Amino acid sequence: MKPAPALAGGFPDLSGMRIAREPHWLRWIGAALIVLVLAAIVRAFANGQIEWSYVSRFITAKVILEGIVNTMVMAVLAMALGIFLGIVVAIMRLSPNPVLKTVAGGYTWLFRGTPLILQLLLWFNLALVFPTIGIPGLWSARAVDVMTPFLAALLGLGINQGAYTSEVMRAGMLSVDIGQYEAAQAIGMGRLRALRRIILPQAMRVVIPPLGNEFIGMVKATSLASVIQYPEVLHNAENIYYANSRVIELLIVAGLWYLLVVSILTPLQMLLERRFARGTLRVAR
């Protein structure tokens, strides 16, 4: 056999040739169809029995603005309570102590197992069970005075959220390598310090996306507190349409506010994620 030439002939030179752009006809047709459908929906609403002037008038009405502020205040406070309870319960759940474990399991079982609206109604009507509450000999008060719509909503939403958040937190802590616990122990840290300094900061990176999800859920779940007279945005919108019968217009007003709030939250979540991603290659570069 002859020694092979350095390069065999018969293959055309492709250098300098560009890859042609595909026309993607189907995409264009699909996009056109979607635009048509959207236009039809917009037209239907524009010609439907909606007085858009009411929407624009009430979207910045004082009562609505107060409502959205109350919504946000409740969402933030209830979520803070939920995260606090969630961390505590997750730590209890992962503890070697069987008493703590069982209590934590029972809490999650009870508050995940019943509807949120039922829990809100129970808190609000606590006075029916305990007419007066307090610490014997120190302080007591009538339950109806203490259990305001605000407090009932905070307890109902926050404690319910804690049950869900505890599972998110537990997943986050379990995602941290066992070697991290051992390294923390090896430099003399106790369980709680290791959790606070080493495990939780790493777990946060994992739990922020699901927690962001939960917080968005919480913003909307505050609307359930309208049934116990908490003056959040949906409750206030309802009060207005009870008076002027502009039901759809005011529901649209409330809906637009929810959309706006949720749209602002998404980039905030990304900022948080970046903060807790310290040390991972994606941002370190």
Partner 1 sequence: MTKPLVAIRSVSKNFGEFQALKSVSLDVWPGEVMCLIGASGSGKTTLLRCINQLAIIDSGGIWLDGELLGVREQNGRLHRLGEREIGRQRLKTGMVFQRFNLFPHKTALENIIEGPLQVQGRKADEVRAEALELLRRVGLSAKADSYPAQLSGGQQQRVAIARALAMKPMLMLFDEPTSALDPELVGEVLAVMKELAKSGMTMMVVTHELGFAREVADRVVYMDQGAIVEQGRASEVLGAPREERTKAFLSAVI
Smallest distance from partner 1 to CB 271, Å: 17
Biggest alpha carbon distance in the chain? 109
**Cα(164)–Cα(119) distance, integer angstroms:** 14
CB of 227 to partner 1, least distance (A): 43
Binding letters toward partner 1, positions 176-205, x by CB under 8 A: -x-xx-xxxxxxxxxx-x---xx--xx--x
Identity of the amino acid at 190: G
CB closer to partner 1 out of 175 and 229? 175
Residue 67: helix, strand or coil by DSSP? helix
Residues 77-106 that bind partner 1 (CB under 8 A): none
Q: Cα(162)–Cα(90) distance, rounded to whole angstroms? A: 10
Q: Considering the complex, what minimum distance in angstroms separates the CB of residue 276 from partner 1?
A: 8
What residues from 260 to 279 belong to the interface with partner 1 (CB under 8 A)?
276, 278-279
Angle between helices 62-93 and 200-221 in degrees, nearest 10: 140
As measured in angstroms, the least distance from the Cβ of 89 to partner 1 is: 21
Binding letters toward partner 1, positions 152-181, x by CB under 8 A: -------------------------x-xx-
Nearest approach in angstroms of CB 221 to partner 1 is 32
- Residue-wise burial string across 20-43, b where 16 or more C-beta atoms lie within 10 A, e elsewhere: eeeeeeeeeeeeeeeeeeeeeeee
Joined tokens for residue 150: 């605000």
**Residues of this chain that bind partner 1 (CB under 8 A):** 177, 179-180, 182-191, 193, 197-198, 201-202, 205, 276, 278-281, 284
